[in-house]
Amino acid sequence: MTDYTQEYLETLLAASHDPILVLDGGYVIRKANMHFVTLFGDTGESVEGRSLFEIADRSWAIPELKDLLSRVLSENFGVENYALELAVADRRYSLLLNARQFADRIDGSTLLFLAIEDVTDTRQHEARIRQAEELRQQSEDLFKVVSDTAPVMIWMSGTDNRCYFFNKNWLDFTGRTLAQEVDQGWTEGVHPDDFERCQRISKTSFEARKEFYMEYRLRRKDGKYRWISDKGVPRYDIDDQFTGYVGSCMDIHDQKDFTDALESMVRIRTQELERSQSFLNSVLNSTYYGIASYEPIYNERNKINDFRILYSNPEVPANFGLTVADVVGKTCFEVYPGIFSNGVFDKLVRCMETGKSDTYEIGVDLNGKTLWLSAAIEKVNNTLTVTSKNITKEKEAALYLEQINEELNGKNKELASLTYIASHDLQEPLRKIQMFTSRILETDEAKLSEQSQQYFKSITSTALRMQNLIDAVLSYSRMESEKYKFERTNLNTLLSEVLLQMEEQIEEKGATIHRDELPTLKVVPIHFQQLFGNLLNNAIKYSKADVKPVISISATKETVNRQLYWKISMADNGIGFDPQYKEKIFEAFQRLHGKMEYVGTGIGLAICQKIAHKHNGFITADGQPDIGATFHLYIPAKE
């Protein structure tokens, strides 16, 4: 054993900053310095003379420690930096123990020198460092997993603005390795036209430690450049020290193409709308119709008491000697006060409240003359659109036409009456002429010379033609003066009756009649009998001398001027006519052939035309010389 003096030991205990004990062979504390007492001593009690394993609530009574100290005493070996975790009261200590035995110089007993180093703070600091390192490693591992699985490309740069990390998506996109991309390697893939701009944005933002956003083209692994968006954000550590940037990128090529296409479409559409607006303004400003938009004005009881003029084309104010500038922005009471007394305001309010469209026609006294307006009201969202037309000329024309029609109807009635009377009065002397010439020829024909006989026969023939003409004139005039009853009539039956009446004439000419099914219509039966008779008579009369007549009668539906008609056609193979006369043949007393060549009154087709008109229809004719003629009768299909 090594001998130490008491004085040396006392000095060592007092000078040491670590806790030091001197124990005897029974682990009783012989000496303890102040640092030990301060850390591990019981409050108000001395530790010297007490067993180490009994102080501090027996905190030191650790079997492993007792075994260790026993070996130091028995085997005389030193202990260095033996780590011990000790719990005293509510605190845990991390200690390093150093132990040696030595002999007491006075009595020669074996003592134990125990130096204790408190490394609690060091261990805790090391633990924090380890924990921080573990957290950092976990964070880096997690970041790598997240960044590699994120649907974006991620990069990181340091305080030198040089990139040191690119995630898997970035590397997969560029087809390059991390070693190729780090530092400034990634810039090799930036499109040359975008490179300078990207560098400028990155440098400016880096110096200011600001976020940035930019779009540029980056070369993909297939060699094609794709537009990407790149957002960079500065990073700071827990001490708020700048550590670099982290950025995320997305492939926006398809989106940009779509956006460019959409913007192009918007530009084109905008141009079209501008052209349409220009065209609309041109139309609105040049139309003869007045167009105006009105906004309701409500009083304190939420009732409409006026309208504000939001828009007006020039036509509306021009009717009143005003301009657009005189009316737009003003109220109706200011510009058109008359609407509050003539019923127009009430119609505007009703349309605004119910949404039901309306119309009106008014006469406005303007400088001693009446201005007539016809208008339609339509609700559009929270406004009214009023479309109006100046119908003053039409109104004056209609009044004038009504007056003329009244005068004309009177004259027609007078003319029809005069025609009827005149024709009736002509029949009496005509009958006497026919009677006397017939008697002379019956009784005195033998006494007359051949020339005289010819004269009398000519008189008789002329009188017969005159009688037929008078009958036709009377028939024509009766259509104007008499009223007839319209009846639903089967035209097939009517045609059969006419053919029966003309049976002898048809057989004499050897005519063939082809007929299709005819409709049932609401007509005046006697008129249609006359019409069919006149057309059939013409077809037979104007047949070719050496060709038997063939007459075809058909019926089909046909739309003319958006109205549906029954078209009844009668075609023949007769002598026909020059197409230039297709309208003239319907004029009364108009003949295309000599009266001696083809006997007739010259009024039959005029009667057919009048019958068609009486039935709200019309009749047309087609013809070719030596080929034939076709007459088309159009009668409305809807009764």
**Residue entry with tokens 């003592």:** 111
Does residue 264 sit within a domain?
Answer: no
Phi-psi region of 41 (alpha: psi -120 to 50; beta: other; left: phi over 0): beta
Q: For residue 276, tell me if it sits in a domain.
A: no
Q: Is the predicted pLDDT of residue 470 greater than 60, yes or no? A: no
Per the structure, the count of domains in the chain is 5
Specify which of 81-95, 396-410, 508-522 reaches the highest per-range mean pLDDT: 508-522
pLDDT band at 267 (very low <50, low <70, confident <90, very high): confident
Choosing from 390, 416, 444, the residue where a domain stops is 390
Distance CA 445, CA 455 (A): 11
Q: Tell me the CA distances in angstroms from 518 to 551, 573, 608, 629, one per residue in order.
A: 15, 21, 18, 20
What's the pLDDT score for residue 289? 82
15-24, 514-523, 607-616 — most confident range: 514-523
Write down the pLDDT at residue 616: 92
Q: Is the pTM of this model over 0.75?
A: no
**Is residue 169 domain-resident?**
yes
Tens of pLDDT, residue by residue over 405-427, are: 787 666 666 656 656 665 556 55
- pLDDT of 466 reads 57
Bin 426: left if φ > 0, else alpha if -120 < ψ < 50, else beta. Answer: alpha
Residue 600 lies in a domain: yes
CATH number, position 450: 1.10.287
Q: What backbone torsions phi and psi does residue 180 show, to the nearest 5 degrees? A: -75, -30
Query: Contact, 141 vs 148, CB < 8 A?
Result: no
pLDDT at 204 over 90: yes
Q: Do both 203 and 171 map to the same domain? A: yes
Do 306 and 229 fall within a single domain? no
Determine the Cα–Cα distance for residues 83 and 95; give it in Å rounded to an integer: 6
Between 265 and 631, the more confident residue is 631
Helix (H, G, I), strand (E, B) or coil at 164: strand
Over residues 227-239, the pLDDT tens digits come to 999 999 999 988 8
Q: Looking at the structure, do residues 520 and 621 belong to the same domain, yes or no?
A: yes
Q: Is residue 288 part of a domain?
A: no
For residue 373, being part of any structural domain is answered with yes
DSSP 415-481: HHHHHHHHHHHHHHHHHHHHHHHHHHHHHHGGGS-HHHHHHHHHHHHHHHHHHHHHHHHHHHHHHHH
More confident residue, 537 or 428: 537
CA 221 and chain centroid, separation: 41
Residue-level pLDDT at 532: 94
Among residues 475, 500, 520, the one where a domain terminates is: 475
Same domain, 598 and 489: yes
**Whether residue 354 is found in the same domain as residue 369:** yes
Question: Do 241 and 247 contact (CB within 8 A), yes or no?
Answer: no
Checking if the pLDDT of 245 tops 80, the result is: yes
Q: Please indicate, yes or no, whether residues 502 and 632 belong to a single structural domain of this protein.
A: yes
Given a cut of 50, whether residue 579 has pLDDT beyond it is yes
Q: Are residue 458 and residue 504 in the same domain, yes or no?
A: no
- Pairing of the two strands 563-571 and 29-32: unpaired
Task: Give the CATH number of the domain where residue 195 resides.
Answer: 3.30.450.20
Residues 496 and 630 reside in one and the same domain: yes
Whole-number Cα distances in Å, 110 to 30, 51, 152: 12, 16, 75
Q: Is the same domain home to 487 and 605? A: yes
**In this predicted model, which residue has the larger pLDDT, 93 or 283?**
93
Are 174 and 92 part of one and the same domain? no
pLDDT on residue 601: 54
- Of the candidates 217, 232, 251, which is a domain's last residue? 251
Asked if residue 425 and residue 379 are part of one domain, the reply reads no
Q: Is 256 part of a structural domain of the chain? A: no
Do 488 and 608 fall into the same domain? yes
Asked, for residue 411, whether it belongs to a domain, the answer is yes
Instruction: Give the distance, in angstroms, between the CA of residue 383 and the centroid of all CA atoms in the same chain.
Output: 22
Predicted confidence at residue 603, as pLDDT, reads 76
Chain segment 128-163, per-residue pLDDT in tens: 888 878 877 776 666 777 667 777 899 999 999 999
The stretch 436-446 carries a mean pLDDT of: 71
What's the mean pLDDT when you consider all of the chain? 84
Range of the domain at 354: 293-390
Lowest model confidence (mean pLDDT) among 51-55, 340-344, 374-378, 391-395: 391-395
323-332, 365-374, 473-482: range with lowest mean pLDDT: 473-482
